[in-house]
Amino acid sequence: MTDRRFNLRPEVGLELAQELVRAACASAVEQGICVSAVVADRAGDVVASARMDDAPLGSMRLALDKAYTAAVWQMSSVDLHESTQPGGADWGLTSTADGRIVVYGGGVPIIVDGRLAGAVGVSGGSGEQDEACAASALAALGLSAPAT
């Protein structure tokens, strides 16, 4: 069954993106951390974003790059970690795309009906905390993160 929040081609819109940002920030509050959250479209461009008070100043750019990574690679950013280590099949990947590829937790693609609709990126906590915030945002809106 097709999710009615998406058109024929799944693409995250502004209203849903804002809801996802709010849900990611709510998850951060529950964890006692302050984060930046970004929702990007299928191309990795920003649809909605927010930086919580007291979130690290550099967290917004990193959240954007995590969302970009998840969108363009259509996988969670953490899933690239192992293969991008020295000697790995994707060694050197992080130096591509003007250094925007992030290979630790916090970037999660939004998959609807098996197709990419966008991505969520969260930064400000540990990689595990950021990943949990992104996954929690998807779950809060009835979407699921791909298995890692």
Query: 7-11, 22-26, 81-85, 144-148: which range is least confident on average?
Result: 144-148
Q: What residues pair up with 37 in beta bridges, in sequence order?
A: 50, 122
Cα distance between residue 139 and residue 38, in whole Å: 16
Residue 52: exposure state from Cβ atoms within 10 A (0-12, 13-18, ≥19): middle
Across the chain, mean pLDDT equals: 89
pLDDT at 22 > cutoff 70: yes
Its pTM surpasses 0.85:
yes
Q: Which domains does the chain have, with CATH numbers?
A: 14-140 (3.30.450.150)
Q: Which of 71, 15, 69 is nearest to 41 (CA)?
A: 71
